[in-house]
Amino acid sequence: MRRVFLKPKKEESLQRFHPWIFSGAIASFENGQPEEGEIVEVYTSKKNFIAIGHYQIGSIAIRVLSFQQETIDYSFWQRRLQIAYTMRKSIGIATDPTNNTYRLVHGEGDNLSGLIIDIYDRTAVMQAHSPGMHLSRMEIAKALMEVMDGHLDNIYYKSETTLPFKADLFPENGFLIGGSDNNIAMEYGLKFHVDWLKGQKTGFFVDQRENRSLLGKYAEGRTVLNMFCYTGGFSVYALRGNAKSVDSVDSSAKAIELTNQNVALNFPNESRHTAYAEDAFKFLDKMGDRYDLIILDPPAFAKHRDALRNALQGYRKLNAKAFEKIKPGGILFTFSCSQVVTKDNFRTAVFTAAASAKRKVRILHQLTQPADHPINIYHPEGEYLKGLVLYVE
């Protein structure tokens, strides 16, 4: 196996088990530069072994798979996937009879940097974010079938948009194992069509499950606006929670179609729900002051650090509009899923928005991602979802 040597002192983050090695930390390669996705051994400048990982061309050059000298083969994937599955079973998320939708592998959070696997009933949707995981996809898929021990029939691979395009891997979305048209999954007793063929992420935003469930508890008798509804997740929980009415808004016509389908799947002939295909800012400008429960769950405003300032301004503007219009005694669920926006950044943006609208605001809950999206303690970057539940006087 090819060896990679680090510059002096560049092993420090690895001694603290951080799973990324940046290209600037590398001093030299044995026998030239590795191929995209190649498994390499990493040595300190003093020639001591420190890690093994997937190489890729880019700012993150190596994603660590192990801090021990071991072989990365079928049995390695099987052991790592088993640890992930055992954890989900032990915390009850993979054994809840009302829920068959959960994340089985959350990248660095499961010590598998570059790999995401979501489970929808008997189908797994697997997503590679690194060339190395792409190259290992069949071995991982087979190991996954074994680990899931009869609980899985299909594995769909969905990496067309998540792999670095310069790597020339030509990934194609499609089933690696099995094949199924049944794409209805259940989340806490509610049914959802999951569009793993064309949908965003793995087809569903699994990460909002606990927050949607909390929303359901606040919905009783309220006039609800679900802004950026996508599959209508929050809307369906609000309807179950006896909301007076629920309006769902998304700029994508496809999302509105999905939302209507999911509402109909759970509540046939529901008259309390209306969905609008419209831009968020336009809708907020003209919506009036009838809502007393508003959800703002926008897409990541900043994908990179450079975009942070603009993103914070986006959050300020968006939240200010909600604060201006929400009824006194109203509740605002507001989120940010941008990884580069910290909890403090986000809270400051929302604070500024509240002050500009001159509303009295109290924080009821501080929300984050659920337990099936664990944060590796050595990789704080893995904490990406932030939410605030606010009571607005």
Residues in contact with ligand SAH by CB under 6 A are 205, 208, 228-231, 233-234, 250-252, 255, 279-280, 297-299
Q: How far is the CB of 187 from ligand SAH (least distance, A)?
A: 10
Distance CA 293, CA 295 (A): 7
CA distances from 271 to 135, 231, 265 (A): 49, 18, 14
Give backbone dihedrals phi and psi of 52, rounded to 5 degrees, phi first.
-130, 140
Q: How far is the CB of 215 from ligand SAH (least distance, A)?
A: 10
Closer of 195 and 250 to ligand SAH (Cβ):
250
For helices 233-240 and 209-218, angle between their N-to-C axes, nearest 10 degrees: 40
- Smallest Cα–Cα separation from 239: which of 207, 206, 262? 262
Q: Which residues 6+ apart lie within 8 Å of 285 measured at CB?
A: 321
Q: Are 386 and 348 in contact (CB under 8 A)?
A: no
Closer of 250 and 372 to ligand SAH (Cβ):
250
Q: How far is the CB of 157 from ligand SAH (least distance, A)?
A: 22
Q: How far is the CB of 125 from ligand SAH (least distance, A)?
A: 15
Q: How far is the CB of 385 from ligand SAH (least distance, A)?
A: 11
Q: Which residues 6+ apart lie within 8 Å of 290 measured at CB?
A: 223, 327
Closer of 37 and 233 to ligand SAH (Cβ):
233
Helix, coil or strand: residue 181: coil
Q: How far is the CB of 374 from ligand SAH (least distance, A)?
A: 20
Closer of 140 and 331 to ligand SAH (Cβ):
331
Closer of 113 and 127 to ligand SAH (Cβ):
127
Closer of 33 and 274 to ligand SAH (Cβ):
274
Tokens at 311, concatenated: 């993103």
